[in-house]
Amino acid sequence: MAGVPSQRLARPRTTAHPRIDGDTVRVRFTGYEESSLRISIRVYAATREWNDFFAIREDILLRIYDIVTDAGSAFAFPSRTLYMARDDGLDADRGEVAKGTVKRWRSAGRLPFPRLPRDEIERLEGTLDYPPYGSPEASQEDLEAAAVTAEPLSSSPEPTNEPAEGETGLAKQPVT
């Protein structure tokens, strides 16, 4: 993207997030809409607590918003605009820088599609500051305490002495 280092793109940014499993990052351009491009983002957050999950998801979405706006672009929202004056449009210089960046990646064989190279994943994993500096959860002690008191997303099944489907249960019975 225009003048934005590769670590500012969505795939490296989500891989670098310390609360995201880098091997699960999937950021894909999946199609065209009537007035927008569809991008699918799937990652696994390292949490078992709902509020923490929503905070991580919000952080990822806001960082992607920053990537788009820092590149001189914007999101399409369903609307109709009646122009009574001329706007500035997209930044042509940033667009040219973005084209040059992608061309260099392609020439060097480092285009980050469909996946980041393993060495890039290892270099980026866990390097993003999260929770962001200045937030109440920013200290390591707070993160460790949250992990201990976290509410699980679902409960584990209760153990039973019932045989699994297709088993006779004989091996599970105590020998007397």
pLDDT digits (tens, 9 = 90+) for 4-20: 444 558 888 889 999 99
Task: State mean pLDDT over 25-47.
Answer: 88
Q: Determine the Cα–Cα distance for residues 101 and 75; give it in Å rounded to an integer.
A: 21
* Distances in whole angstroms, Cα of residue 119 to Cα of each of 88, 112, 123: 40, 12, 6
Q: What is the mean pLDDT of residues 47-70?
A: 92
Q: What is the pTM of this model?
A: 0.49
pLDDT at 24 over 80: yes
Tokens describing residue 94: 């940033």
Average pLDDT over residues 92-115: 88
Contact 21/124 with Cβ under 8 angstroms? no
Q: What number is the average pLDDT over the span 145-149?
A: 56
The pLDDT assigned to 52 comes to: 93
Q: What is the mean pLDDT of residues 40-52?
A: 92
Q: What is the mean pLDDT of the chain?
A: 77
Core vs surface per residue 106-141: b (16+ CB within 10 A) or e: eeeeeebeeebeeebbeebbeebebbeeeeeeeeee
Indicate whether 35 pLDDT > 70: yes
- Show me where the domains of the chain are located: 1-78+89-135
**Nearest-5° angle of CA 54, CA 55, CA 56?**
90
